[in-house]
A and B are shown apart, each in its own frame.
Chain A
Amino acid sequence: MAGERERDDITGTETTGHEWDGIKELDNPLPRWWLYIFYACIVASVIYWVLMPAWPLANSYTKGILDWSDRDNVAVEIQKLRGARAPMFARLAEASAADIAADPELQTFARAAGEAVFGDYCRTCHGAGGAGAPGYPVLADDVWIWGGSLSEIEHTLRVGVRADHPQTRFSQMPAFGRDGLLSPREVSDVTEYTISISAARTRLAPDAAAAGRGAAIYDAQCAICHGPSGAGDRSVGAPSLNDDLWLYGGSRDEIRRQIETGRAGVMPAWEARFDAGTLRALAYYVHEMGGGELDAAPAPTQSQAPPAAPE
């Protein structure tokens, strides 16, 4: 690449001696204004050091005489944003599910605010989009332990489950096996019976004889909470057993282990942490994940009827 420096006839300029496929480069002078711009940049950087935070020191940094701090500015911006959002949260706190659905602006706000809070506080356990995990209920499906209407979801959010809130949702599944309430044989039998009344029976093919023996144990021990047909009871937080959705896993072993050990999870009570508007937004977001139910309250939401032709 490097070659002879030659002189170009017309311009009288030397070439740089570099050559690429026969293309040679003239060693032309830089324009002087270009050099001055370079100097100006150096001067500007020195001015910048004086005005703005610039140099790292052992335990701090040079602050600059403008006292600029992005951290402080962000804090101010966040404060401003909170102020700007406050009226919407105040409206949300007063709004019912129907109100929210009827007001596109409020609905969009509730969704966005709910999604943000969910992402920060709920997703760790319940998964993105409410996908759930073993021991952490799926929120996107249509099965609810404590109720799936907006007000019930919000109440669960407020008081938590087995949390340190005076009115917290509380249910206790006994550890029938571990605590010796039932013998291992009886646990096996009631496991087979539970499978036989659930939608999992086609997939797990329960032992008919064992299920028959388990029926009596179920009626004596389980039916009081889970109901004689396994429909569950939301008033006491007893999950339904007649579908094929299982909080702690739906294999034979997993169903049996839950009867043995009676695991019970905890959800924090969020009432002290969030204001009413945020709680409403969060409840609305969870309610909208797909399994939300209508409020038991008399007024079914009129606004969700087919939209009229816009005039």
Chain B
Amino acid sequence: MNWTQRLRQRKAKRRPQRQNEAMSKVTLIPRKPEGEHAIDVRAVNSGEARALYKKREQIYPKLAHGLYRNLKWAAMIVLLAIYYVTPWLRWDRGDGRPDQAVLIDFEGRRFYFFFIELWPQEVYYFAGLLIMGAFAIFLSSALFGRVWCGYACPQTVWTDLYIYVERLIEGDRNARMRLDKAPMSPAKAAKKVTKHAIWLLIAAGTGGAWVFYFADAPTLLVNLSAGQASASAYISVVILTFTTYALAGTMREQVCTFMCPWPRIQAGMIDKDALSVTYRAARGEPRGAHKKGESWEGRGDCIDCRQCVAVCPQGIDIRDGDQLECINCALCIDACDGIMEKVGRPKGLIAYDSYANQSRLAKGEAPQIRLVRSRTILYAVLFVTVALMLVWALAARQTLDLNVIRDRSPPFVQLADGSVRNDYALKLINMSDRPRRLVVEVSGAPGLRLQAPSLDSDGRLHAAATADAVTSLRVHVAAAGLTGAHDIAFTIRDLDSGEVASSSAAFVAGGER
């Protein structure tokens, strides 16, 4: 017996034992679902399917029909349209300036958003937007649970799109399952190849659209197709093609369950009055198969058909309660409502509902929806406050600014006539689209005088500030008879518009010698 045979034998010895383990797990699965609407499906996170390292179980979401499915279609169309169309919107900013409405110009260090143009040092506007985004998500979570996850998250939107393509080519849940079980055939190969090809095309389109936000879209499109765009453009396209294909095509619910921190954060956002997708257990239990004509007395409304599990893109069972895998897409509501209609029971066995209402339902009290609560008021007020602050900051935004950096080495220079000189680097920031003629003045201590080659007869310093740029100017300031440190101020004044910007600085003269 050589070593391979020995190994095979040893493996064969071990195998029956493993199979037994597996069998024992299988026996834990409760009875097969029965009844006319029942479907053979099991939640991927059910207690019976456990191992140290969990193999991903393929989920075959069934197409749902209903209000929330339609909402999701609408959200998908609107969001994808925004994503793909935005870079192609034009906005006239005059000669020699980009005419793209939304442009993040890293090379030119500018951010353009329709009529707004921001410089890198104004990044606090983005901080404000992020804070608004955070409060918006807090608020939406406190009101309606994980609506972001269910409708608007790119992972959800693109996964939805990919499943749509999959369904178009391979058919709905049962057809897809049959296809995967079937042996490889030309027809199966054709379907698989077509599906992955379309997925890759969408992925490339996604990555392709992304780079258009960072350069002039029409020019970049020509360059990209001619093979003349920058390496970073191609690398971005490739990376985003890969991530889109992998995350929306093959990883899907794994992203939400294992990669995304949001489900964990979410747990802290939801209180007992927040609406989220809920199985009304008090109404549904005890569940069980129901035959036409049978009485509904003494049993719950849930007929255990598992349609809610079949449509779930996360592959979970909402009847297990709130769980981190649940993205609150509400497709199970659509599925269940359809069934309830068919069996003649009221809709809403699964519905947007709150924890508080579950206990009320159990006690037979009337449900109560409390959208106005201290935390939703707080979130809304904070959101509006930050929004108003941003609007105010934008409205009051100046296009002329001055930064002054004092030379610290040496801190001051003694001159032959006994006076003391300090040196400063002035940054004349001209955020407007026209060049400016500026006058620089200094004040704040007696006897300060500017020293520069370009002083006019009144001792004023003239400087030209280039349009949409920072002009650097080195300035010497001398004073006689000063000791110690003095707070001084530099002022720049636009000779044409009268706009003024100033900046404080220090003048250091040292002590008595």
Contact = CB atoms under 8 A, between A and B. Distances in A.
Interface string A269-311: 0000000000000000000111100000000010011111110
Contacts of A130: 410
Given A141-B414, A250-B513, A128 B54 contact: no
Contacts of A243: 416-418
Interface of B: 45-48, 50-56, 251, 254, 257-258, 320-321, 407, 409-410, 413-418, 421, 423, 435, 437, 451, 453-454, 456, 462-464, 466, 474, 476, 513
Contacts of A12: 46-48, 50
Contact of B56 (A33, A129, A306, A309): A33
Given A138-B413, A140-B410, A245-B416, A10 B47 contact: yes
A307 B455 CA distance: 10
A33 B254 contact: yes
> What secondary structure prevails in chain B residues at the interface with A?
loop
A127 interface: yes
B513 A203 contact: yes
Given A11-B45, A290-B421, 14 more contacts: A29-B51, A29-B54, A30-B52, A31-B56, A33-B56, A129-B423, A131-B410, A132-B410, A141-B421, A143-B415, A245-B414, A301-B453, A304-B453, A307-B437
A199 B417 CA distance: 8
A310 B464 contact: yes
B54 A141 contact: no
A74 interface: no
Interface string A19-47: 00000000011111111000000000000
> What secondary structure prevails in chain A residues at the interface with B?
loop
A28 B44 CA distance: 13
Contacts of B254: 31, 33
A308 to B, nearest CB: 8
8 contacts: A30-B52, A31-B258, A101-B453, A240-B416, A244-B414, A245-B416, A306-B456, A306-B462
A101 B473 CA distance: 12
A262 B62 CA distance: 99
Contact of B410 (A129, A301, A309): A129
Chain A interface size, as a band, is: 35 or more
B218 to A, nearest CB: 31
B418 A304 contact: no
Contacts of A221: none
Contacts of A34: 53, 258
B409 A199 contact: no
B415 A142 contact: yes
Nearest to B55: A32
Contact of B418 (A31, A101, A199): A199
B463 to A, nearest CB: 7
Contacts of B410: 127-132, 138, 140
Nearest to B466: A310
Chain B CB count within 10 A is highest, among A11, A290, A291, A304, for A290
A280 B464 CA distance: 26
Contacts of A305: 454
B471 to A, nearest CB: 9
B180 to A, nearest CB: 18
Chain A CB count within 10 A is highest, among B45, B46, B54, B462, for B54
Interface string A32-65: 1111000000000000000000000000000000
Q: Which 5 A-B pairs have the closest CB atoms?
A: A12-B47, A131-B410, A304-B453, A128-B409, A29-B54
Contacts of B51: 29
Contacts of B437: 307, 309-310
A132 B437 CA distance: 37
Nearest to B421: A290
A168 interface: no
